[in-house]
Amino acid sequence: MKFGIVVNEGPYTHQAADSAYQFTKAVLEKGHEVFRVFFYHDGVNNGTRLTVPPGDERDIQKNWTALAEEHKVDLVICIAAAQRRGILDANEAKRQGKDADNIAPGFRISGLGQLIEAGIEADRLVTFGD
């Protein structure tokens, strides 16, 4: 089965980000395909490389990055939600006149068309968070 995943909540404000990660990991371990993980609303905060959780806490961004690297999962951050929250890749930082980017490895920024495509291509689209 082919899954699309939507993450609407940030990594440290709601259980949804952890649940989405665990679900995605379990789906892949069972041999299913993940077409794309789309981060929307506060979920885009999962894709900043500047979070520094205490050493005894989970690092959800690094977990997503490792999962994407190991399984070639497409991690897409909504551009509009990202801009509102200060998440920028190098191209967007330059376009907006900013002096730095902060997107984590394995993530990319794109538009809502990527969410629509995931809904079309996947057998199931599973949403985590409000």
Instruction: Determine the pLDDT at residue 28.
Output: 98
Instruction: Determine the pLDDT at residue 130.
Output: 87
Q: Which of 78, 79, 81, 87 is catalytic?
A: 78
Dump pLDDT digits (tens) for 69-124: 999 999 999 999 999 999 999 999 999 999 999 999 999 999 999 999 999 999 99
pTM of the shown model: 0.96
* Burial category of 29 from C-beta neighbours within 10 Å (exposed 0-12, middle 13-18, buried 19 and up): exposed
User: In sequence order, what are the residues at sequence separation of 6 or more whose Cβ sits closer than 8 angstroms to the Cβ of residue 15?
Assistant: 9
Is residue 78 part of the annotated active site? The answer reads yes
| Structural domains of the chain, with CATH | 2-128 (3.40.1260.10)
Dump pLDDT digits (tens) for 25-39: 999 999 999 999 999
Instruction: Determine the pLDDT at residue 55.
Output: 87
Instruction: Determine the pLDDT at residue 88.
Output: 97
